Amino acid sequence: MRRKHANGKGWEDTVRGRIRFLGLLMPMLLLLPAGKAFYLQIYERDSLRQRANQQSRMVEKVQPHRGAIFDRNGQPLAIGVPVPSIYAVREEVKDKRSAARRLSKVLGMSTDTLYDRLERGSGFVWLRRMVEPQVAEGVSALALEGVGIRTESRRYYPNSDLAGSVLGFVGTDRGLEGLECSLEEHLKGGDGVRVLNLDAMGKALTSPRPWERPPAVGSTVHLTLDRNVQFFAEQSLREGCRASGAAAGVAIIMEPATGRILAMASYPGFNPNDFGSFDQENYRNRAISSIYEPGSTFKVVTIAAALEEKVFDEMDILFCNNGRFEVADVVINDHLPHGWLTLMGIIRKSSNIGASKVGLEVGRERLGKYVRAFGFGQRTGILLPGEGRGILRDESSWTQVDLANISFGQGLGVTPLQMVTAINAVATGGDLLKPYIVDRITSPTGEVILQNRPGILRRVVSGDTARKVARMMETVTEPGGSGMNASISGYKVAGKTGTAQKFDLSEGTYSSDAFIASFAGFAPSQNPAVTAIVIIDQPTETIYGGAVAAPVWRDMVSKTLKYLNVTPEMDQDAPHPAKEPGVLAQKEDPVAAPDLKSMPDLRGLTLREALARLAFTGASVKVTGTGVVVGQSPEPGRSVGERVSLNLKPRTSG
């Protein structure tokens, strides 16, 4: 009986112990979920809330409406148009492989690509954006669950390839070239965010939540370009390049008094609506990015510097060595041999030797100062991407050969925009204006964010010097000048031709068969309404600026003058006067105007006086000696003919 009692007592102790253990364990087990719940609700609250939100809603980024671009008359150059895009909500597409296969035939994409987009990840995915309406209709006809169509804004250029290199184009989400790229921050607007509710199965509910952030509309850009003037420039340039077999070309038309760019054309161009079909080289805006040697158009700068520094005046004469001139064992040639020429004759006949001699007299320090003052070696700051600075070494490093070459536009690199801006400084009477192509940028509410206004960068030369240079440039387009093909009936035209050899980098020397032909000028010359430049790169039919570029310049500028209603200043049928015929080109002598057919008596006159009288004969002049005229051929009263010889000796006293 004792054993049973002992055993019974032991069992009772065991039971009591187990009860106590369970009594302790149960509260502990109850505390664990409570503790877990406390942990989750307090410490993991934010992360769990975020996960819950991710599972119960879908955040969609909504593309903004891109701002439009207009010309100066309010004509659209780039706008946004609604286009369909194809999307899918992955969880709603039951048979992804089948859906990919059926969609591939309509979207023109591979089945594997579409399946990968549907299979990888969750939620919303674009399948193909900005498709043609017929493609969207095909997708709609498939009636695939989880696949839908949403309207987006696509960039559209209503004038096709007009001003393509200026405007650039837009990729899927941002501007990639031209103004679309450089003004991206203004044009793009701001992305919107919209939230869609999802059910327990991950399907989007029909009604979205209110906007968390609506899309912001981009700003509107108003350009100085005139759509019609741009058309004239592009049409003339395209026809001229094709006729001459040229590789490329540039044309710029500027409003002289303000610096506004009315047209900026590059050939070959491209259609920004279909930019993928064109070579990337066509995207280039050659007007600001092409760096070339300006050739004889640069003589305007050299002559202006000489006049402003009073090293020469327009009546001074220089001997042009009959077409061959050596500087430090380097030979400089003229296309045609010339003897004595005034500064006006150097411009009119485009003598490299004459310009070199002028530059050598001006000197590297003074000429370098004017080259930089005219804007070379520095960007203009126009709001276009890819603008070049040009190539201009510091004048302190110029040798005599460098100075001679730069004087006629060889040995430095400029952009077309720099060159036309420099020529415009003559048209304005000596002021260098800042060129600009963006007139203003306005917000969606009409607030002006940016406003460009005409601005004078600096005074380059005096008004008197500018007028003298302009008169010299007029003779270029008159009969006998190198730019006669740029003359426009009814208007006086001031301009300068240029023909430059291209530098062959592979050979390290100038090419013998690759040239750049150019013409730059303004009209009407006395009250300019248009300043313009045409550059033809590598013409094959003929290479000279007067033959290749000048007719293109005349064609586009004459159309522009008529479009701008610029009143003709002369009788439309009257030919341009030839006041400086022959090799010698200078102003009329107001005192004596001898019979053009008879040889005047020049004995006892200085060379300058004699040449002034011979300016009316049209004869070329050969001079021997220095001093005053002591002999002449033909003799006084005889027929002048085409050539005159003068014998000079120093004046003796007593």
Q: Which residues are part of the catalytic machinery?
A: 296
478, 551 Cβ separation under 8 angstroms: no
221, 438 Cβ separation under 8 angstroms: yes
CA 165-177-556 angle, 5° bins: 10
- Strand ranges for 387-526 from DSSP E: 431-433, 438-442, 448-451, 456-459, 494-504, 509-523
621, 646 Cβ separation under 8 angstroms: yes
H helical segments located in 245-342? 286-289, 299-308
Residue 632 bridge partners (DSSP)? 646
Compute the Cα dihedral for 429, 431, 437, 443 and give only its sign.
Answer: negative
How far, in Å, CA of 531 to CA of 252, rounded? 8
237, 534 Cβ separation under 8 angstroms: yes
Residue in 501, 537, 496 with CA at minimum distance from that of residue 250:
537
H helical segments located in 172-250? 178-182, 184-187, 227-244
Residue 495 bridge partners (DSSP)? 521
Q: What share of the chain is helix, strand, coil (3-state, %, to 5)?
A: 35, 25, 40
How far, in Å, CA of 256 to CA of 422, rounded? 11
Cis? peptide before 268, omega within 30° of 0: yes
328 secondary structure, DSSP code: T
Residue 441 bridge partners (DSSP)? 221, 450
How far, in Å, CA of 24 to CA of 94, rounded? 52
How far, in Å, CA of 349 to CA of 332, rounded? 16
How far, in Å, CA of 432 to CA of 427, rounded? 10
